[in-house]
Amino acid sequence: MAESLPVFDSLALPGLRDRVVLITGACRGIGRVTAELFARCGAAIAVNGRLEEETMQVAGELQQQFGVRTLAATADVTDIVAVRNMFAALQDWSNHRLDMLVCCAGYPLVDELWNTPLHEMHESHVDEWFKQVRAVDLDGARYCSHFALKMMVPQRRGSLIYISSTPALSGYHGTPYTEAKAGLLGLMRDLAHEYASHGIRANAVAPGNIASGWYHQLSEVEKQKLAMESPLQRWGFPEEVAGTILFLASELAGYMTGQTIVVDGGEVIR
């Protein structure tokens, strides 16, 4: 299969031009593609990554290619002090405005964590592994949401979007990942309920097998086997997840909150 979908030069969604969006985990994978699509729609983008050089490079490339304002928002989202400092820089850059937060940062897929059943884990791993994944996937999203809401509540508008996964809905294996991604959906639903009266929406995307990140580590046999898991019998493209994120951020989804959209080729049908 192709590595990605063609870029659509005419891509435009209502309500995204000149809006300020912070995307965590924006230097690679789905986060990077999402940043590119937001930039194509004319949004001002705060690019978050953990490594300063990489983050600055991505922010510079987006600014040069699409002519939009960008900020290299370097921070480790597992560190609440670093997140606080990132939001202070964001406020200075955006004149205290934040329209959208997209939480794409995720713990990298580690074979041992993914494939070890809970009863076979060493007891130290039952603590350590779960904390490692939760720190990025759930704690990082919570920290960013805390500071984002401080900016959005006075504005009386905003959109929070979280990247979960299909195992959070149906179960699978890789318990540390499933638990953290399921917790993320709980956070999303609670914020959707609590902050709707402030004009703030919260939604999530649950991708299935997407040709990004760990996809490139698989053999051709493994890729083909996993492709057959969904009724559409192929891998999803990162752009198909990013497009769903943009829809949720746009005015087209203005009456949607507290929802999880599944992007998995039909494997999890609810």
- pLDDT, one tens digit per residue, over 31-71 is 999 999 999 999 999 999 999 999 999 999 999 999 999 99
Q: Give me the amino acid identity at 263.
A: V
CATH number of 20-217+234-263: 3.40.50.720
pLDDT at position 1 = 43
CA 24 to chain centre: 7
Within 8 A by CB and 6+ apart from 192, the residues are: 201, 202, 203, 257, 258, 259
Catalytic residue among 177, 195, 215, 255: 177
pLDDT for the residue numbered 174:
75
Domain boundaries, the chain: 20-217+234-263
Tell me 236's DSSP state: B
The predicted structure's pLDDT at residue 212? 76
177 in active site:
yes
Provide the edge-to-edge strand list for the sheet that holds 70-74. Answer: 70-74, 44-49, 20-24, 100-103, 158-163, 200-207, 260-263
- The dihedrals phi and psi of 198, each to the nearest 5 degrees, come to -100, 10
Kindly report, residue by residue over 196-241, the tens digit of the pLDDT: 999 999 999 999 888 777 667 777 887 788 888 889 988 888 999 9
Residue 221 identity (one-letter amino acid): V
Sequence-distant (≥ 6) Cβ neighbours of residue 64 within 8 angstroms: none
